[in-house]
Amino acid sequence: MTASTATATTARWGDPAETQVAIIGSGNIGTDLMMKIIRLSGTLQVAALVGIDADSDGLARARRLGVPTTAEGVGGLIALPHFEKIAVVFDATSAGAHQANAKALEPYGKVLIDLTPAAIGPFVVPTVNLDSHREARNVNMVTCGGQATIPIVAAISAVAPVAYAEIVASIASRSAGPGTRANIDEFTETTARAIEEVGGAERGKAIIVLNPADPPMIMRDTVFCLVGDADPAAIRASVEAMAGQVAGYVPGYRLKQEVQVDPVADDEPLATLVGPGVRPRWKVSVFLQVEGAAHYLPAYAGNLDIMTSAALRTAEELVRHAGTGQAAEALR
């Protein structure tokens, strides 16, 4: 439905005590997020799914579920009769589109949760730094690889100085839609920055691999860190504890094997990875798997599942911090 016909389904929204949210982007990520909120959240209520393709599967599914929709983009969202009651807007479009969407929504005081690599607002990884950004009006969920690996870098950083952190996110090619492919450069740049700014590494690097295997592979992530003086047992314990915290909102997230902590050999060439005069003592390798919950997407699309799961957790925590309610003022 368009903005002019959205009122036909308002009677089916559900509990008015829940905080109303809108999702911009009716593709895979936006639709999966909608299904997660409907199935899992007792705090949020989907008040609109916004797209630009009236025939998209996401908008069709939303209509069947009684969720108000518009195929007129952010302008259609603003024109909805209940727009003023929406407190949180998720953006699941693209980095370029989020720039325009954020500008269009700025006068209305909504809280924006950005699932693109645009990074207008601060990076947020729920288990690492959400508490530091509860007052932000636009928070960025980094990338799928960032949500999977930055908690591990931060866990290592909590017990050892990390001179260098490198992550490799391997995802099924079939799970990478047009938006993901268009944002490959932004993915590597944004994730590398967040490894440093959120993960605590002196230097970060990110690599993404689109694996064409058939049947499609489940998301796999590798975290490699060079660290200074530390107790290997403390590193392992910190990583294992963090993995458990992430699994609290991403059930398919797990360590694939024991954390590897190996000494750095005296003659190992590391000058291209760390700064001058820095000599790491340990190499830490962590291997992860992220299986999706299959709320909308297949289980192999763990890369998308961890983004929507992290966004849902972030929104719920922001609302819980501010107090629930429908109006945008409830989050101010």
What are the residue numbers of the active site? 144
Helices (H), 8-106: 28-40, 57-64, 73-79, 95-105
Three-class secondary structure of residue 284 per DSSP: strand
Neighbours of 65 (CB within 10 A): 15
CB neighbour list of residue 41: distance below 8 Å, 6 or more residues apart: 18, 312, 316
The Cα–Cα gap between 22 and 41 comes to 14
CB 286 within 8 A of CB 255: yes
DSSP state string for 80-102: STTGGGEEEEEE-S-HHHHHHHH
Residue identified by tokens 């609290």 is 248
